[in-house]
């Protein structure tokens, strides 16, 4: 509702601006200008009534802006305004999370095999970005980041699914 009111106010502002260019002697333009100005004030009052002063304000995000915290913050702000079709689309994030988890599992298993593979009695096989033990932290951080992405996808998909199954809880 507030979006519609804001759009109406913008349209009226445009009308007021165009009407204000007419000469003051144009009585119909002057009447329309006064009427539009009054309508704009009524719409502003309606907007204030639609968003009561005691409505909770959206807090400024805090903490580290990792994928999970960014996605959860954006989701919490956007979810109340989504229609059923959009919720169905967001619920598909669960499938995407599964796809990412399967790919991550295969990658981690491949790395495990690579590390565990012994050549001449030593596990010193080198491949891709994993050239030495010094590369281990970067590898583990990349895996942690992938898991963070999966968590974010699950949060959004699960929440969207829940909103679809129990819409009465979110009105």
Does residue 61 belong to any structural domain of this protein? Answer: no
Mean pLDDT of the chain: 74
Classify residue 92 by burial, with Cβ atoms within 10 Å: 0-12, 13-18, 19+: middle
Regarding whether 17 and 93 lie in a shared domain, the answer is: no
Does residue 43 belong to any structural domain of this protein? Answer: yes
Does residue 60 belong to any structural domain of this protein? Answer: no
Does residue 57 belong to any structural domain of this protein? Answer: no
Regarding whether 95 and 24 lie in a shared domain, the answer is: no
The model carries a pTM of 0.55
d(CA 144, CA 157): 20
Position 88 pLDDT exceeds 90: yes
Cα distances (angstroms) measured from residue 90 to each of 75, 85, 123? 10, 9, 44
Regarding whether 75 and 40 lie in a shared domain, the answer is: no
Regarding whether 86 and 25 lie in a shared domain, the answer is: no
Regarding whether 158 and 92 lie in a shared domain, the answer is: yes
- 156 or 30, which is more confident: 156
**Domain extent at residue 118:** 67-170
Does residue 137 belong to any structural domain of this protein? Answer: yes
Regarding whether 97 and 42 lie in a shared domain, the answer is: no
What lies within 8 Å, CB to CB, of 89 at 6+ separation is 160
Does residue 128 belong to any structural domain of this protein? Answer: yes
- Of the pLDDT bands very low, low, confident and very high (cuts 50, 70, 90), residue 49 is low
Does residue 141 belong to any structural domain of this protein? Answer: yes
Regarding whether 149 and 118 lie in a shared domain, the answer is: yes
Total structural domains within the chain: 2
Regarding whether 160 and 77 lie in a shared domain, the answer is: yes
Does residue 58 belong to any structural domain of this protein? Answer: no
Length reported for the chain = 171
- Of the pLDDT bands very low, low, confident and very high (cuts 50, 70, 90), residue 12 is low
Torsion angle, alpha carbons of 23, 27, 33, 34, to 10: 130
């Amino acid at each position: 509702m507030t979006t519609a009111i804001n759009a109406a106010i913008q349209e009226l502002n445009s009308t007021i601006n165009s009407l204000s260019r007419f000469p003051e002697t144009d009585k119909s333009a002057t009447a329309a200008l006064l009427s539009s100005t009054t309508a704009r004030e009524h719409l502003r009052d309606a907007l204030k009534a639609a968003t009561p002063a005691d409505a909770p304000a959206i807090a400024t995000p805090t903490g580290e802006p990792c994928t999970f915290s960014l996605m959860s913050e954006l989701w919490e702000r956007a979810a109340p305004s989504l229609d059923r079709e959009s919720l169905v689309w967001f619920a598909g994030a669960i499938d995407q999370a599964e796809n990412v988890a399967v790919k991550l599992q295969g990658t981690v298993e491949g790395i495990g095999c690579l590390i565990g593979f012994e050549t001449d009695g030593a596990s010193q096989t080198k491949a891709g970005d994993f050239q030495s033990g010094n590369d281990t932290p970067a590898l583990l951080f990349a895996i942690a980041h992938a898991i963070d992405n999966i968590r974010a996808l699950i949060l959004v998909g699960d929440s969207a699914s829940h909103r679809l199954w129990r819409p009465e809880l979110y009105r």
